[in-house]
Each structure stands twice: as C-alpha cells, then as structure tokens.
Amino acid sequence: MSSHAARGAYLLLVTVAADRDVEVGALGTIRFERGTYVYVGSAMGGLEQRVGRHLRRDKRMRWHIDRLLDASDRVEALLVPSRIDMECELASLVEGIPGAVGIRHFGCSDCRCRSHLFRVSERIAACLRSSFPEPLRRVSGVSAGRQDGR
C-alpha cells in the first residue's frame, strides 16, 4: 500500500429489492426485508481498495457483508477518509438515527457493538447520500436484480 493511500471508514447503502433469506456464516440464515440497509466498515489499509472490493460481484465470500452484497440489487459507498479508525463511532451514530433497526451481531464480531448493519428508510438513505459530495461517493457498476437466477 502506498503511504498516500487513503484510509478511513465507509458506509455502504445496500438495496434489497425483495425479501430474501441469506445464509450469513455463523449468524445463520437472516431474513432481509425489502428495503435499504446501511453497513458501516473500516479500511485502515486502503479505502478505495476495500470499497472497490465490496462493489465487485466476483469475489471470495470472506465477511458477513459479502453475503448480503451478493444478494443485493444495488450498492453505493460513502467514503469517510480518516487517519483514525472511526468504524464503531459511525455505527453508533447510524444506530442512533430514529427508525434505524440493527441486524444483531452483523459485521461486528471483532468489537463490542451490537451491529454494524442497520435497516433504514429510503428517506434516511437519501439524507445520508446527499450529505456526501460526489468525490466521496461510489456506486456499483452492476445492478444485480438477481437476474442471474440465484
């Protein structure tokens, strides 16, 4: 990694167009209702590389979020460049949004947070989206729509 590579945290806005049951490793099968989810992650080893990996369809399933992303219809990333790891603080911030519903233990096996994944209204997702300038937003190149028969 170049010493100039951006580090920090990110929010993924994950759209699930229809209710889906997703097998999520040790968490078992989780029912994801149609809607928008916000996942909070960190990339202290390279923000662009980590977010780029999340936005790709073809990858090895490594983390909880990989399973949800594989079943999603659209993914957007909001970048939070930072020299300090703010992942848990951002998760706490999202958790505090009225109406945000945490998916228990999702994405937080290495910390004390209740969750790093939250179901939010589209209105909240739009507010988050509009809070980040264009240079800090990324959108997946593929809208899965589950058209591949899975």
pLDDT value of residue 26: 87
DSSP character string of 131-146 = TS-GGGEEE-S---TT
pLDDT value of residue 101: 97
Q: What is the pTM of this model?
A: 0.89
Q: Which residue type occupies 147?
A: Q
SS (H, E, C) 103-138: CCCCCCCCCCCCCCEEEECHHHHHHHHHCCCHHHEE
Q: Which two tokens stand for residue 49?
A: 């590389």
Enumerate residue ranges in the chain where pLDDT < 50: 1-3, 142-150
CB contact at 8 A, 70 and 44: no
pLDDT value of residue 57: 85
Nearest of 73, 80, 79 to residue 140 by alpha carbon = 73
Nearest of 68, 56, 72, 59 to residue 17 by alpha carbon = 72
CB contact at 8 A, 81 and 135: no
Sorted by where each begins, the domain ranges of the chain are 8-139
